[in-house]
Amino acid sequence: MLVDDARRIATAIEERFDASACQGVKATVKAEELRPKTVPAGAGRPTFTNYYIQITDDTRMATLTLGQAEDLHDDVDPDWDPDRLFDAIRAMDVSVEKAD
């Protein structure tokens, strides 16, 4: 299932961060549920769930698709610090926002 894939990817990324200079950066699973506004008569109302990986440190946050997160996992080097990590995320055309 996609949720299992998302959890596996988030865990693998966080382990890679912990083994690098990115200690303290977190990778968590984010789920978004969508429901169609209209459905055919007699049909149940389906729910579609999309899973993402959120990468956060104390000041920044980025939301990646599962494919982007897997690519990021493959790219992270042990000498990367959080600044280098978020530069790589921006290079993937992913928006980096201020963390709440």
**Whether the model pTM is above 0.85:** yes
User: Which segments of the chain are extended strands (E)?
Assistant: 26-34, 48-56, 60-64, 96-98
- The predicted model gives 71-84 an average pLDDT of 93
pLDDT band at 1 (very low <50, low <70, confident <90, very high): low
pLDDT in tens, 79-100: 999 999 999 999 999 999 998 7
pLDDT digits (tens, 9 = 90+) for 12-68: 999 999 988 988 899 999 999 998 888 888 888 888 999 999 999 989 999 999 999
The conformation of residue 41, written as its DSSP 8-state character, comes to T
